[in-house]
């Protein structure tokens, strides 16, 4: 405000200036997109220090790989949604409920620290990851900012998507599937490539299930046809090279792939033989990956079954055992841990790709994390969104189609920026019940130390 004359302000001008300042303060205090006051003129979300978690519930949506969705409720009417990894079970998250109820959901990192010990690789990271996403959804809604802003600044306002090629042996159906994907704007594709393609050809597969030299030549002829269909300029990744391959078999495969200039070959190794449990101790597999990597120029990607930077990824990155970290946020620890892993990899000049075979809600959670990743390649999207016409109708709040010309726009609304479409979700439940009460999870099921108190 400028002073005029003798520097004294009239009462009218002083009051006018105060009103202007009040308008300015109001605009600062109420940013665009902030939650509007609730009935009665009171914004109950304006008392974050008194916010408390009151409940956790779940539902499971039927799909090729089911979508277990959790909801964390609070005493101020704000709820946050999260998702357990594809084909997981909601119980892996619900067992964490007593560790969270009564706590302030805005204390995201301390809460996550307290439940981290209950996580592991593969789908056992799904509960922790779902909670991470739901907590960020709540915090974004309370503070009136999108989830990506809680992680830092964004490097992009849309996320590139790579799409699975159609799984069919019919050349005409395959060509039509490729045409449809190109029409949708995709320029990056992935497909499965293994000895199963030539298993019926005599002499093409050995007793261990690996392709012989004859079989490998035939597999490359199939890859030639795929390259001709999508274009040699298009980016291409391969997955599922085999479940019984040893290191030397993998080296033969990836060396044969060098002329095809792949963006990456994904998860070329099965679990270490002799390891207990499905998947074994996959975090120790970096030595075998490093041996393969040093024998080829075909880029290797891995990581979709790993949980945590320290627990799963750090040895792969520090030892440069892979060329690309391929993170599944719903196993790796949610959106905050995904950014930690990607940032650490970027410091070692290793870019990030993101695995994604989940619902639209989980997909958008991935998008928020990716928006803040500096060195990023692309986000996976399996073909289920093409096979299920109701897939993108599971959520509201974002423009449709969700994938636009091969990209997903980064939401700017508070929290995840999406809400579940209750009507559509109820039509496609695998397990009856839409966020029913979960009293069976009220008591501690998992813990390492819980004394009983004095005995009378």
pLDDT number for residue 314? 97
| Tokens 């998507």 -> residue | 161
Would you state the structure tokens that stand for residue 410, as one six-digit string? 């980064």
Which is nearest to 95 in space by CA: 58, 133, 52? Answer: 58
The rounded distance, in Å, linking the Cα atoms of 46 and 42 is 9
pLDDT of amino acid 26: 41
CA gyration radius, the chain = 25
Q: Where are the alpha helices (DSSP H) in 123-232?
A: 126-143, 147-151, 171-183, 213-230
The pLDDT assigned to 31 comes to 40
Contact 289, 317 (CB under 8 A): no
The residues, ordered by sequence, that sit 6+ positions from 152 with a Cβ below 8 Å of its Cβ are 339, 372
- Provide the pLDDT for residue 1: 41
- The end-to-end CA distance of the chain, in Å, is 73
The distance of Cα 423 from the centroid of its chain, to the nearest Å, equals 25
CA 93 to centroid of chain Cα atoms: 16
33 C-beta neighbours (distance < 10 Å), count: 12
Where do the H-state alpha helices sit in 328-390?
A: 329-332, 334-347, 360-371, 384-387
CA-wise closest residue to 212 among 239, 252, 251, 168: 252
Cβ neighbours, 10 Å, residue 151: 20
pLDDT at residue 274 in the model: 53
Phi, psi of 207 (to 5 degrees): -65, -20
Place of tokens 């009151």: 54
Alpha-carbon separation of residue 331 from 127, 139, 243, 264, 318 (angstroms): 8, 21, 21, 21, 21
pLDDT reported for residue 46 = 56
10 Å CB burial of residue 395 (0-12, 13-18, 19+) is buried
CA 200 to each of CA 195, 206, 233, 239: distance values in angstroms, whole numbers, following the listed order: 10, 12, 31, 21
Residue 355 in tokens: 């695995």
Domains of the chain with bracketed CATH = 48-145+433-441 (3.30.390.10), 150-415 (3.20.20.120)
Q: Give the position of tokens 């945590």.
A: 308
- What are φ and ψ of residue 363, in 5° steps? -60, -45
Half-sphere exposure of 190 (CA within 13 A, CB side): 25
Q: For residue 28, what are its two tokens? A: 């600062």
Q: Which helix (H) or strand (E) holds 324?
A: strand 324-327
Using alpha carbons, select from 365, 379, 361 the residue that is nearest to residue 424.
361
CB 181 within 8 Å of CB 189: yes
Q: Which residues pair with 159 in a beta bridge?
A: 408
- Nearest CA to 237 among 159, 343, 160? 160
Report the candidate in 80, 69, 85 with the shortest Cα–Cα distance to residue 125.
Answer: 85
Contacts of 20 (CB under 8 A, 6+ apart): 1
**Rounded CA gap, 8 and 4, in Å?**
8
Tokens of 162: 């790579």
Tokens of 121: 């690789």
HEC letters along 4-32: CCCCCCCHHHHHHHHHHHHHHHHHHHCCC
282/267 Cα distance (integer angstroms): 11
Are the CB atoms for 229 and 202 separated by under 8 Å?
no
pLDDT in tens, the chain (456 residues): 443 444 444 444 434 444 444 443 343 334 434 444 444 444 555 578 899 999 999 999 999 899 999 999 999 999 999 999 999 999 999 999 999 999 999 999 999 999 999 999 988 999 999 999 999 999 999 999 999 999 999 999 999 999 999 887 788 888 899 999 999 999 999 999 999 999 999 999 999 899 999 999 999 999 999 999 999 999 999 998 988 788 999 999 999 999 999 999 999 987 655 555 555 567 888 999 999 999 999 999 999 999 999 999 999 999 999 999 999 999 999 999 999 999 999 999 999 999 999 999 999 999 999 999 999 999 999 888 888 999 999 999 999 999 999 999 999 999 999 999 999 999 999 999 999 999 999 999 999 888 888 998
Phi, psi of 219 (to 5 degrees): -65, -35
């Amino acid at each position: 405000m400028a002073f005029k004359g003798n520097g004294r302000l009239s009462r009218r001008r002083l009051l006018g200036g105060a009103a202007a300042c009040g308008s300015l303060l109001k605009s600062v205090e109420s940013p665009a997109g902030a939650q509007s006051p609730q009935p009665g003129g009171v914004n109950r979300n304006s008392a974050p220090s008194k916010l408390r978690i009151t409940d956790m519930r779940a539902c499971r949506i039927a799909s090729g790989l089911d979508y277990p969705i959790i909801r964390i409720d609070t005493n101020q009417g704000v709820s946050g949604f999260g998702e357990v990894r594809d084909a997981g079970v909601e119980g892996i998250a619900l067992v964490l409920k007593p560790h969270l109820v009564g706590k302030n959901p805005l204390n995201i990192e301390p809460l996550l620290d307290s439940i981290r010990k209950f996580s592991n690789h593969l789908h056992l990271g799904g509960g922790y990851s779902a909670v991470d996403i739901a907590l960020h959804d709540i915090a974004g809604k309370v503070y009136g900012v999108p989830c990506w802003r809680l992680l830092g600044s964004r490097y992009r306002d849309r996320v590139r998507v790579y799409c699975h090629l159609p799984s069919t042996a019919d050349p005409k159906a395959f060509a039509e599937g490729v045409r449809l994907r190109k029409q949708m704007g995709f320029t990056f594709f992935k497909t499965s490539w293994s000895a199963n393609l030539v298993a019926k050809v005599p002499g093409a597969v050995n007793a261990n299930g690996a392709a012989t030299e004859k079989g490998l030549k035939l597999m490359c002829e199939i890859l030639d046809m795929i390259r001709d269909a999508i274009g040699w300029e298009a980016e291409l990744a391969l997955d599922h090279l085999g479940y019984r391959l040893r290191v030397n078999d993998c080296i033969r495969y990836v060396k044969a792939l060098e002329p095809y200039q792949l963006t990456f070959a994904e998860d070329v190794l099965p679990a270490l033989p002799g390891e207990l449990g499905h998947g074994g101790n996959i975090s120790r597999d970096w030595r075998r990956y490093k041996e393969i990597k040093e024998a080829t120029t075909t880029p290797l990607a891995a990581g979709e079954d790993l949980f945590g930077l320290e627990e799963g990824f750090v040895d792969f990155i520090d030892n440069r055992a892979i060329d690309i970290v391929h993170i599944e946020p719903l196993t790796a620890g949610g959106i905050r841990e995904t950014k930690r892993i990607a940032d650490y990899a970027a410091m070692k000049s290793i870019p990030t790709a993101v695995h994604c075979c989940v619902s639209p809600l989980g997909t958008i959670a991935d998008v928020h994390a990716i928006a803040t990743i500096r060195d990023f390649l692309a986000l996976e999207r399996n073909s289920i969104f093409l096979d299920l016409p109701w897939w993108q109708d599971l959520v509201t709040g974002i423009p449709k189609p969700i994938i636009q010309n091969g990209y997903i726009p980064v939401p700017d609304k508070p929290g995840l920026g999406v809400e579940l479409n209750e009507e559509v979700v109820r039509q496609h439940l695998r397990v009856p019940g839409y966020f029913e009460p979960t009293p069976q999870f009220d008591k501690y099921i998992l813990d390492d130390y819980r004394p009983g108190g004095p005995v009378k």
